[in-house]
Every structure is written in C-alpha cells, then in structure tokens.
A and B are shown apart, each in its own frame.
Chain A
Amino acid sequence: MDTKISAVADKKGIVTLKTIQHTLGKHTNLVTLVVLIVALGIMTGGRALQISSLQNLMVAEAVRAFAALGVGLIIINRGIDLSIGQVVGLVACVSASLAQTSDYAGALYPGTVFPVFLPIIVGIAVGTLFGIINGLLVAYGNLPPFIATLGTMSIAAGLQLIYTRASTIGSLKNEYKHIAQGSLGPLPYLMIYVLAAVLILWIMMTQTRQGKAFYAIGGNPQAARVSGINVKLNLLKVYALGGFLYGISGVLLSSRLGLANPLTGDGMELDAIAAATVGGISHSGGIGTIGGIFIGVFTLGIITFGMTYMGVDSYYQLLVKGMIIIVAVYFDMKRHAKRA
C-alpha cells in the first residue's frame, strides 16, 4: 500500500519544489520525527543529541516497540487490542517468577533452579496464548475487538494479581537480566532485537502472501473473502502474532527492570496504539507500514526523552504528547483523505 516511496526527483532528475512538497506530504510521520529531533537539538544547544542519548532512547523505546508492532499489525487488519499492557505485565510477572535467584527466600519458587531459557519460552507462550484467545473471540466469536480485548485485559490483570499475590517479583538472575541489559559494543541488545523484529516483519508484510493477505483484509474484508482469502484464519493469525510480540515485550521488560510487579506494563496499550497511529497506521484498516510504526515509536520516544532531558514537568509532558498525537494524525488523515 504505502510501501513504495516516490522519488524525490522527477524523471529528468530535476528536483522541483513540487516534488519535494509531494514527498514531504507523503511522509508526514518521518518529517515529524526529524523536526522533533532538530528542535530538540536547537533547544538544548545540541547537548541532548549525543551517542549516549541515542542509546538511552533506544533502550527506553525497545520494549514499547514490540508492543507497537504487535498492535500496529492488528490495526492494519481493522482491529484493536486493549489487552496489551496487562498481557505484557502478566508475561513480565510469569517470566520474572521463573528467573528469580534460587537462594532468594522471597522467591515464588524458592530453591528451584530453572534454566534461563525457560522464562523466555513460557513468557512468550503466555503472550501468544492471550493473542490466540483474542483472535478466537474476534474472528470466530464475532465479538467487536474493542470488547473482546477489554475482557481479556481484565482477565490478564486479574491473573497477574492472583499469580503474584500483588507482590513484587524481584531478585532476578544476572544471566536473565543480561538479556535486555547487555550490549554489543555501543549497541544495546534491546536495539538489536527491535531491528531484527522490524526486518522480519517488514519482509513478511511486503514480500510474502501473508502480508498481502493482511493488507487485503484491512483494506476490504469482503473483497478479500471473495478473492479466496480465509479472513477468519488470518485474523486469528494476526492477533496471535500480536500476542507473540507482547510476549517478547514482557520478557524484555522484566529482564530490563530486573523485576516485575502488578504495575509493570500498566497503560502500555495507550502508548503502543499512539505510536502505531503516529506512525501512520490508519484505524480504517489496510494502511500503514512496519517502518512507519518504528518511526512512530521513536517519535513519541523523542518527545518523552527531550522533555525529560530539559526537565519539563511530567504533567506538561502528557499535554504535549497528546497534542502531538492529534496534530500528527490529523495531517496523516488529511493526506489519506486526499488520496481516496
């Protein structure tokens, strides 16, 4: 859909004002990100734009990026997922509970040594399971996605409180914490995971029949069905994939924090949906790219980072964030409306 980028220059290789305007208009989300980065640079006299800042930003946004990629794909298929934050939190608690140091008296399973891969696998499995449940409810139960995932949001929150008895799961093994806290030279592991996920999903969405099916369903489910696409199965697949990505997000979050508690992941659904939306994913379905979601995540990230760097009161941060989401999406919608 939106994957082909028009050349800046026209056929003769001459850059005209019109082509520049056209290109800028087509990539509002990227323009927004660049404008924000430049603005931050100017406002801090360039101090905010250091290598270490970039590392901080990458680390801060990586966990959210997985959640945004998951929900972004779901939104492309005309869905929505409100269960993200609570599922990520549940996954974080489950994976953390299997990664506690065995000599810690307050551990959920004191004295038991689990291999370090177990929390990763179980955590991702829990996320995927929730994705499958969401998918079944939406695709085969015909529940509106908003309602179905509102239900599973509450179920995940309840399970998390029951499982942890509302306490904090801490004292995680160093090997486990290393998964998200380590880095390869200047590159944090977290960033490598995100880039790998972006690459894989990008290939899926642009180079495979699966991706085409997702776009087709998002564009027009009836037409997709007529052209022989199994809409229900594909919807199940996209919610399951979303759950799988939240699973990764939850595991990375507990590893990064070195703990999990019932507040972990709280409210992440809003950040993830906002990031996907700012990244140009249209809620009417069928429109948006993986690269766009990635840009959306970092657009919101740079806002938070920049305001934190400048010491802006967090109350104002919420205000500014909200306004930027509205403005970015307004222009994006206008662009789509023009095209339609």
Chain B
Amino acid sequence: MKKLIVAALVIMTAVNFTFAAGQQEAGSEKVTIGALIRNTDEQFVADYAENLKKLAAERGVDLKLLDSRSDQAMQLDQLNVLLTQGVKHFVIVPNVTEATEDMAKKIDAVGGGAAFSNIQPSVEALKVSPNFYLASSPESVAGQIQAQILDEYFQAHPEKMANGDPNAIDAIFLYGQLGHPAQVFRSEAAVKGLKDAGYTVNIVAEDTANWKPDEAQAKMDTWLAAYSGKFDVVIANNDGMALGAVESLLTNKYTDDPSDPTKDVDGDGTVLRVPVIGVDATGVAVKSMSEKKLFATVLQDAVGQSTTAFELAYMMATEGSATGKDAWGISPLTEVTGESPATDAAIVGQCYLVPFAAVTMDNYKEFMQ
C-alpha cells in the first residue's frame, strides 16, 4: 500500500511539474488530422491506412494515425488521447456502428468533425452535427454483389446446382471472426441476396476461419471428407479464406479434371468443380482468378473510401466545413436509400457512397497490379 502512495505522489508531482508545459500544443500552422483505424491486420484497412499516409504526405498534413487492433475500448482511449493533443478533425474506421454516436459526441464537444468509413456510423452519430460524414461502401453491399455474381453464374450454368438438393443452392460458408461486422453483414447479405433472387439456400456447412487462409484450408479439408459432391459453392467473407479453400480443393483434386488441374473442362470459368467466391480483390486473389482458380471477388475500394474521407476531414480543417461539397468527385446523396444511415432525410446530405465493384472473369484484368 505504501508503494501505492509513493506511486501516486510521484505521478502527481510529475504532472504538476509539467502541467503548464502541457497547456500549449497548438499554434503551428500545419493542418492536423487524426485517423482512428480499426485494425491494419485486415487487408482493406491496411490499404486504407496506407493511402491516408500518402495523401497526408502530399498535402503536408500532420496525420496522427492510430490502430485500435479491433478493440473498441482502445479506440476510445486513442480518441481521448488525440483530443487531449488538440486534434479536432478525424477520419475514422470504427469497430462497431453502435460506438459511433458516443465518439461523435466527444469530437463535437471540442467543435470538431469526422468522416466515418467502412463500418457505417449510426443515424444518431450523423445527427450529432453536420460535421459528421459517411464516406463508405456498406459491408452488406459486398454480400449483395457476391449474390449477384452467383445469380449470374447459376443462371448460365443451372446444371451446377445439381449437387446435394438440385433445387437449392447448397452453400459452404467460411466466416471471418464471428461477430465482426464484416462477417455478420457480408454473410447475411449474401444469403439474403440469393433468396431475393428466388433461390432456396441450403447451408451445407458453415464455420469461422478467422479471416485466415490456413484455418480455411483445414476446414475445407474436413468438409471435403464429409460433403464431397454435396455442395454447389463456397462463399467466403474475404479473399484470404477463399484462397485457403481454393488450395484445399486443388490439393484434394476437387477439379474438373483431376489429372490436369489447369483445365476448365465444363467452361464455367473455374478449374474447380464448384465456384469459390471471396471479397477484397487483393493482389493474390486477382492473380488466382487469372489462373481460373478463384472464381470471383468483390472490390471494396480502399483508396476511394480513404480519399473521400480524407478530403472531407481536410475541407473541415482548412475551410471550416465540408457541407454540400464534393469529395473525391463524389457528391453527397440527395435522396434517401434503403441502407442505414442514408435512410434518414435529415442527414442524407452527409452521406458519400463510394461504389463497390464486382471482380469477375470478365473484368479481373483491370484489377491486376
């Protein structure tokens, strides 16, 4: 206990000594933007952060970028630290929608603003003040596009539904970390999209592989032993896991021609017996598509989202407001959409939607790096 008192005394003394010094931090002319980033272990978020750094260097902005490692408590702590340092304008890739309102209120209390990307902010967060923006492509759209790609595939190749129940799409799902917003929304939207297109969806097997190729490969190995010939498609929440599944299917010779795994015998666009679909359009994924292994993926535009968000924050910092202005050539919405938060007329003008893109056999070459 005495140690405790000594520690408290030392901290207090140190604090008193430097209290005056700490008061003055601002004063320099340089624009400062805070970036609170969910977790750069995710490819999309890593690309997003890289682009922010590049933009900041180009514009001479002092970018304070912090990674919360998927921990919302840590993101709040980081926000507190930056607010203490006098940062007012933010680009935020949140951990969860439900946390955005509290974050917006804290920023608003110092007269600042923020642009949210990737995970959509709540309607309430945008209502905190006109200085809060959505600069994103909602996660669920990725799932919708997966469903659209598969709808086209099964329309062109109805015979590919013959595995398992011939009147249903028998799907295997590889999920990201359970409860992660990208896992929840992408999966839900993919199933919903297929059902809306008139299919019956029968989930043959589903499990998390925590975004990881190796875990996905091991899962797929097990499932192949149990469900060989009983599924029509493998749907993964990201490209990493999709590629793990592809690797498993290849090593287990689950290909059109087991003797030559490079031949697309049935002409459906993939050498595998079933299509495997991911999200992210990473470099390796597009390369795999060029070899007709991975069937398709969805590009979530990290550069587009981060540039839009950065421009909004930059305009707020330099011009005082970004209301009504274009960012990265994208105009704010004028009409409500069916996707939160752009569902509320009061804040629809604070929403900037960055387009998603389907990456298929028809267009993958455009995405090769």
Contact = CB atoms under 8 A, between A and B. Distances in A.
A49 to B, nearest CB: 4
B197 interface: no
Contacts of B195: none
Interface stretch (B60-68, B257-265, B268-276, B317-325): B60-68
Nearest to A61: B77
Interface string A169-180: 111000001000
A206 interface: yes
A41 B178 contact: no
A164 B7 contact: no
Nearest to A38: B14
B104 to A, nearest CB: 12
Nearest to B101: A258
B19 A51 contact: yes
Contacts of A311: 64-66
A209 B99 CA distance: 45
Interface stretch (A13-21, A109-117, A262-270): A262-270
Interface string A249-277: 00001001111011110110000000000
B173 to A, nearest CB: 13
Interface string B91-129: 000011111011000000000000000000000000000
B72 A27 contact: no
Interface centre among A5, A46, A256, A304 (most CB of B within 10 A): A46
Contact of B6 (A30, A263, A266): A30
A166 B78 CA distance: 26
Interface in B175-232: 177-181, 183-184
B7 A59 contact: no
Given A47-B25, A50-B22, A30 B7 contact: yes
Contacts of B67: 313-315
Contacts of B77: 56, 59-60, 304-305, 308
Contacts of B17: 41, 46, 49
A5 B40 CA distance: 45
A314 B66 contact: yes
Given A52-B84, A308-B81, A314-B40, A291 B3 contact: yes
Contacts of B177: 263
A56 B81 contact: yes
Given A50-B18, A170-B96, A295 B4 contact: yes
B99 A257 contact: yes
Contacts of A53: 15, 22, 81, 84
Kindly state the interface size class of chain A when it binds its partner.
35 or more
Contacts of B98: 168-171, 258-259, 261
Nearest to A45: B21
Which secondary structure dominates chain A's binding surface? helix
A313 B46 CA distance: 12
B22 A49 contact: yes
A118 interface: no
A293 to B, nearest CB: 10
A294 interface: yes
A308 B66 CA distance: 7
A183 interface: no
A70 to B, nearest CB: 17
B346 interface: no
Contacts of B101: 258
Contact of B80 (A45, A48, A56, A263): A56
Contacts of B345: none
A263 B22 contact: no
Contacts of B284: none
A264 B14 contact: no
B304 to A, nearest CB: 24
A298 interface: yes
A34 interface: yes
B3 A27 contact: yes
A77 interface: no
Among the interface residues B10, B14, B15, B179, which one has the most CB atoms of the partner chain A within 10 A? B179
22 contacts: A5-B3, A46-B21, A47-B22, A50-B22, A53-B22, A54-B11, A56-B81, A166-B184, A167-B184, A168-B96, A177-B102, A198-B4, A202-B1, A206-B1, A261-B72, A263-B95, A266-B71, A290-B1, A292-B3, A311-B66, A313-B67, A314-B67
Interface of A: 3, 5, 27, 29-30, 33-34, 37-38, 41, 45-54, 56, 59-60, 63, 161, 164, 166-171, 177, 198, 202, 206, 253, 256-259, 261-264, 266-267, 289-292, 294-295, 298, 304-305, 308-309, 311, 313-315
Given A256-B76, A261-B98, 16 more contacts: A37-B10, A53-B15, A56-B77, A59-B80, A171-B98, A257-B73, A257-B102, A259-B72, A263-B72, A264-B72, A267-B71, A294-B7, A308-B78, A309-B85, A314-B68, A315-B40
